[in-house]
Every structure is written in C-alpha cells, then in structure tokens.
Structure 1
Amino acid sequence: MTSVNTDAHILMSMTYASRANPDVSATDFNEILQQAQINNAANSITGMLTFNKDYFLQTVEGPRAQINRLLYSLIADERHYDLQVIETRELKHREWSKWSMNYASPTEENAAVYLKYSTTNGFNPYLLNADSANGLMNELSAQKG
C-alpha cells in the first residue's frame, strides 16, 4: 500500500517569536536569511521575517506537513531560543506568495509601524497578540513592495 500525502493541499500559516542567542552576528543572520530563502523555495514555503538584534518574529505559510517539519527544525536551531508560537491558522491563499522569505528590520523609516503595534518603545514580539503580529508583518511587507 502506497502512502499518500493527503494534507498537501491544506495551506497553513504559522507566526512565532523567538529570542536570538547573543552570539548571533550580522553574518550569521545573513546566512540564516539566505538559507531560509533557499530551503523555503524548495519546500513551497513563503513568508515574512523581521529581526532586531534580540528578537525574531516570523510568519511562514505553506503546506501543513512542511510547516510542521519547519517547526521541528526551528525548535532544534541553537541560534535562537524560547520559540513561542503566536498563531497558526489555515489559509485560503498565501499572503506572501512572491517571497520565499521577505525581510524587514527596524529602521528609522519604519519606526512608526513598529511603534503602532508595540506596547513599549522597543520591539518585543512576545508582547504582540496574533492580530498585532499579523498587522505589523502586513504593513512592513507593504512598505517593501
């Protein structure tokens, strides 16, 4: 009997926050981003990532099985810790279909967007609820075109 992947058509979105290990350098981060773009493209995963020197906030979307596999690898990745899933949901269509991994960092130009969704002056994704995290990522993505 052959195994059939019956959930390949179920599109999921997962948003999570995590803390960067203090020894993650800008070079390490660029490698993380490049590897994510390659791996995501190979696994039909798209998404949006924002990072400052302390925190990651990422939304990924793709087939349910692929998102589950990605979650396990993210948990095992020692470049960050304290991964907390903010939201998972089924999607009817992708929100970031044109990016294997879009990226935005906090800058002077987008500071107002971060402040709009933050409960503090600094970016701390652990303080965002699912709606705020989604709003932040969508506005950052819209700025990137």
Structure 2
Amino acid sequence: MTQTILEPHILVSMTYVSRANPDMSDKELSEILRQAQQNNAANGITGMLVFNRHYFLQTVEGSRAQISQLLHSLLADERHHDLQLLETRELKYREWSKWSMNFVSPTTENAALYLKYSTTVDFNPYFLSAESIRGLMTELNH
C-alpha cells in the first residue's frame, strides 16, 4: 500500500520583470490578463501585474510548488523575453489576497511614484531594487 505524504505548503512570493515583445497588441494583453486571472484562481495564486507596453513587472504569491510551476510556464511563454527573477521570499500572509491578478498600468498621473522609488519618472523595473518594487506596487494598488 502506497501512502501519500502531504507536505506542508510554504507560502511564498515571487517578483520578476520581463520585456514585452514589441508587437504585443491590446488583445494579447487582455488575453494574458484573462488567462492569469483564471489560472491563478484555480491554483490558489494571487498577485499584481504592472505593464506599460515595454515591461512586465509582476509579483505572485502562493504555495512554493505552484509558484515554481508558474515560473516554468513563464519562462516558456514567447509573448515576453529577458525574464529576470528579482525576489523570492517566504510570507507569513498574503499581501494580494483580494486579487487573482490585479492590474495597474503606469500613467503620467502616477509618474511621481516612479520618481519616489527610482531615479527617473520613466517606468523601468530593471533599475529598481526589490524593496523599491514592493513599495511602488503597494502604492499603485491604492
């Protein structure tokens, strides 16, 4: 008789940045958001996505196993490239529990937030520290 051993689920957060393919259409972005919301809800993943036509910045949280699987699928997704993992960390509780995938787009109205966390008003998450990204995403959510 084979017995399945249930391992405790460790709650983790993963933040990454990637470059959007230059020919990404609004329809493709809508499809990415729809897929993320549907898949994340089914897999117990919550998070936030920031996109500005050039860069994806995303933080996701869930079980370590689910986040690992998600990372593998993100690396294989041809709609973006140059994916860089910026931070992974264990969590005591979810920070994005209300959202299967919250979405925010940088605008001229929130450019002051980029200046607060960066050296420029231009949104380029490759130049931000993990701590700056957490602060920026928290403020963009309000």
Alignment of 1:1-145 (within 5 A): 1-7=2-8, 9-141=9-141, 143=142
With the length of structure 2 as denominator, give the TM-score of the two structures. 0.95
Relative to structure 1, is the Cα distance of residues 5 and 72 closer, same or farther in structure 2, using a 3 angstrom cutoff? farther
Q: Map Cα deviations across residues 22-46 of structure 1 (whole Å, 9 max, x no partner).
A: 1111110011011100000000000
d(CA) in 2 for partners of 1:19 and 1:120?
18
With the length of structure 1 as denominator, give the TM-score of the two structures. 0.93
Indicate the percent of aligned positions where both proteins have the same amino acid: 69
| Segment drifting more, 62-71 vs 119-128 | 119-128
Gaps of 5+ in 1: none
* Partner amino acid, structure 1, of 2:105: S
| Segment drifting more, 118-127 vs 24-33 | 118-127
For the aligned residue pairs, the C-alpha RMSD in angstroms reads: 1.1
Q: Secondary structure at the match of 1:31?
A: helix
Shift >4 Å, 4+ stretches: none
